[in-house]
Amino acid sequence: MRPLPEVAPTRHGRDVAGLLQDLQRVMDGAYQPSHPGALAHLDPPPLTASIAAELVCAGLNNNLLAEELSPGLTGLEHELCRWFCHRIGLPSTSGGVLASGGTLSNLMALVTARMAAGAAASNAVVLCSEDAHVSLAKAVRVMGLAGDGLQELPVDAEGRLCAEAVERRLTALRDQGRPCVAVVATAGTTVRGAIDPLIALADVCEKAGVWLHVDAAIGGVFALSNAHVPLVSGLERADSITLNPQKLLGITKASSLLLLQQRDHLRRAFSTGLPYMQPPTDLDHGGEMGLQGTRPAEVLKLWLGLRQLGEEGIEAVLASALHRRALFAAALDPHLMQVLPGDLHVLAMHPTQMSAAETERWSESTRQSLLASGFMLSRPRYRQRFCLKAVFGNPHTTESHLNALAQLLHDSLR
């Protein structure tokens, strides 16, 4: 459904009733993340405190560009980044900045890494796995790196990068005289939720003197939980980390953090002096610590959302998402459906007994028939083959929904 209201402003402006009608039309065509069958993507239902904070943020209309335009909120962003760093185990020199999405955090991380390495050459390389997110391809294009500037290494059966292969590639690059801007590990790959071996990769990068960026857009939030932090151990050794609270915790979009082991690197990469603003008192201007200039106070909805959840709430969101995945995986018949191994709350699957061509047709028709039954899954192409993917970050999805979904999938194969 894509109902559209009239687009152009009317001559005299609409009254409240008219505006509500306009809004209703747009809302009728919206994706509904709170529906229990909304399992397609990393877009969970929003927390009420986060929604309220978003409204307040709009009302305050502060600008995170500069301290004088957002004195309290600049301080809040600074402190909340420090809290995240502390929870992850980064040193006191660490810090970060909020960004409007993980794509931007990844880009800023690589720009910062390049600046820190002094690797301005256009033949410089970024290494990652073949399952890393497409935002890295965008980043190397924006950075003007060569066509093979992003080098993707194969993953193992578990969907993880192999540290020895990274080490070999670093040696080969050195022999070719090509600088390496960064190795990017992924903590939670987009299709199957796999986590690269962070400790082994940190060892390799440390030995080679290469920047380690961890794209933990999906998996980083697990570091906030004492019970689940082992999933991402080694994260604290990254030079930079992308973490997206919007993807599982229910913080309204956009909510992403770029955290750095050494916060000063951000200033070196992005500060310009911002000559038309008063110099900051003791904190840096937000606009001097990243690529964005004018920014809304996205910190407000993140902070208030976390305050609403509390430690127990955070734990419950993470644990229940993993639990739903485990329940669903157990409900699937392994003779009919093959689940790709993964570490987090994301599950990609395809029928065990079908060719790639048959899977392409099955995934398309099954996605449609599931929609008609109130379930939305996504259909990524992975290794020349389509899969259906479910993400279990939706707390409205109950065990009986999961069993019903598994049954529909089995029926689609009979």
Min CB(22)–ligand PLP separation in Å:
28
Min CB(355)–ligand PLP separation in Å:
28
Query: Counting contacts by CB under 6 A, is residue 74 touching ligand PLP?
Result: no
Kindly tell me which of 155 and 332 has the beta carbon lying closer to ligand PLP.
155
Query: Counting contacts by CB under 6 A, is residue 128 touching ligand PLP?
Result: no
Cα distances (angstroms) measured from residue 139 to each of 110, 121, 144, 403: 7, 15, 9, 40
Query: Counting contacts by CB under 6 A, is residue 377 touching ligand PLP?
Result: no
Contact assessment for residue 236 and residue 92, using Cβ atoms and an 8 Å cutoff: no
Maximum CA extent, the chain: 69
Cα distances (angstroms) measured from residue 171 to each of 98, 226, 344: 34, 37, 32
- Residues 245 and 256: their CA atoms lie apart, in Å, by 6
Site size for ligand PLP (CB under 6 A):
15
Query: Counting contacts by CB under 6 A, is residue 217 touching ligand PLP?
Result: yes
In one letter, which amino acid is 285? H
Kindly tell me which of 173 and 297 has the beta carbon lying closer to ligand PLP.
297
Contact assessment for residue 101 and residue 256, using Cβ atoms and an 8 Å cutoff: yes
Continuous segment of H or E residues that includes residue 369:
helix 356-372
Cα distances (angstroms) measured from residue 330 to each of 323, 325, 326, 407: 11, 9, 6, 12
Kindly tell me which of 285 and 389 has the beta carbon lying closer to ligand PLP.
389
Helix axes 298-331, 71-88, angle to 10 degrees: 40
- Residues 412 and 375: their CA atoms lie apart, in Å, by 14
Query: Counting contacts by CB under 6 A, is residue 42 touching ligand PLP?
Result: yes
Query: Counting contacts by CB under 6 A, is residue 65 touching ligand PLP?
Result: no
Cα distances (angstroms) measured from residue 118 to each of 105, 170, 240, 312: 20, 17, 16, 44
**Contact track, ligand PLP, 333-372, x by CB under 6 A:** ----------------------------------------
Query: Counting contacts by CB under 6 A, is residue 133 touching ligand PLP?
Result: yes
Kindly indicate which of the ranges 16-24, 184-192, 195-203, 395-403 contains the residues binding ligand PLP, using the contact rule CB under 6 A.
Answer: 184-192
Query: Counting contacts by CB under 6 A, is residue 102 touching ligand PLP?
Result: yes
Q: % helix / strand / coil in the chain, to the nearest 5?
A: 45, 15, 40
Kindly tell me which of 38 and 332 has the beta carbon lying closer to ligand PLP.
38
Query: Counting contacts by CB under 6 A, is residue 252 touching ligand PLP?
Result: no
Min CB(188)–ligand PLP separation in Å:
6
Min CB(387)–ligand PLP separation in Å:
15
Contact assessment for residue 191 and residue 389, using Cβ atoms and an 8 Å cutoff: yes
Query: Counting contacts by CB under 6 A, is residue 378 touching ligand PLP?
Result: no
Query: Counting contacts by CB under 6 A, is residue 256 touching ligand PLP?
Result: yes
Min CB(36)–ligand PLP separation in Å:
22
The backbone torsions φ and ψ at residue 165, rounded to the nearest 5 degrees and listed phi first, read -65, -35
Among 225, 244, 252, 292, binds ligand PLP (CB under 6 A): 244
Query: Counting contacts by CB under 6 A, is residue 245 touching ligand PLP?
Result: no
Query: Counting contacts by CB under 6 A, is residue 292 touching ligand PLP?
Result: no
In one letter, which amino acid is 239? D
What tokens appear for 110 in the block?
A: 């690589």
Min CB(335)–ligand PLP separation in Å:
31
Kindly indicate which of the ranges 23-31, 79-87, 210-218, 348-356 contains the residues binding ligand PLP, using the contact rule CB under 6 A.
Answer: 210-218
Q: Could you tell me where the DSSP H helices lie in 89-162?
A: 102-117, 135-142
Kindly indicate which of the ranges 51-59, 100-108, 119-127, 395-403 contains the residues binding ligand PLP, using the contact rule CB under 6 A.
Answer: 100-108
Query: Counting contacts by CB under 6 A, is residue 95 touching ligand PLP?
Result: no
Query: Counting contacts by CB under 6 A, is residue 218 touching ligand PLP?
Result: yes
CA nearest neighbour of 210 among 173, 155, 242, 235:
173
Give the binding site for ligand PLP (CB under 6 A): 42, 101-103, 106, 133, 135, 186, 188, 190, 215, 217-218, 244, 256
